Structure 1
């Protein structure tokens, strides 16, 4: 089954579907209020995220604070970033990196 990368106005989703049309339908069902910006078929059966691109150097480990903020915000990334900024006293960029890193590690 092909692997599709779907970008909406607020999310990037990866899904295995039978066709591009099925990927579009899944996205509209999952995020009905979002505009689909791009749908692309991945060349392989794997999704790879570059740690260097995310700004991670050295071994990455989950941050309990970031995961707690994600849980409190029910997965709302913007709210989780704000909670992390307030809780840790860091800049928005640092908080965004911590939250997105933990999301990429499988929160």
Structure 2
């Protein structure tokens, strides 16, 4: 089943469909009030989005840094958050989110 990229007024939809008509139906069902601006069949069965295009500029891998901080802190969440804040310069709330996310993922 081919992968289609469908651009509407406010969304970009990536979906598998049997053909262009089915892809158009997906867009109409999902966003009935929007016009389809562009529909293209993707040449491969995967999709890659550049973080730079989205404006995400991360010099380091936040998960890698968080896992390193958790390891250094022997799993102590509060100590890991402090270490993360020191290493990245992120504020308390952002650091807490990153550390807790990585704790759930089983650092």
Partner of 2:46: 46
Partner of 1:7: 7
Partner of 1:37: 37
Given the superposition, is the C-alpha separation of residues 23 and 54 from structure 1 closer, same or farther in structure 2, using an over 3 Å criterion?
A: same
Separation in structure 1 between the aligned mates of residue 31 and residue 45 of structure 2, nearest angstrom: 24
Separation in structure 2 between the aligned mates of residue 21 and residue 28 of structure 1, nearest angstrom: 10
Q: TM-score, normalised by structure 1?
A: 0.53
Separation in structure 2 between the aligned mates of residue 35 and residue 54 of structure 1, nearest angstrom: 23
Divergent runs of 4+, >6 A = none
Separation in structure 2 between the aligned mates of residue 54 and residue 37 of structure 1, nearest angstrom: 20
CA RMSD after TM alignment: 1.7
Q: Say how many residue pairs are matched.
A: 62
Partner of 2:59: 58
Q: Which runs of 5+ in 1 are unaligned?
A: 63-107
Given the superposition, is the C-alpha separation of residues 61 and 10 from structure 1 closer, same or farther in structure 2, using an over 3 Å criterion?
A: farther
- Return the offset for 1:52: 2.1
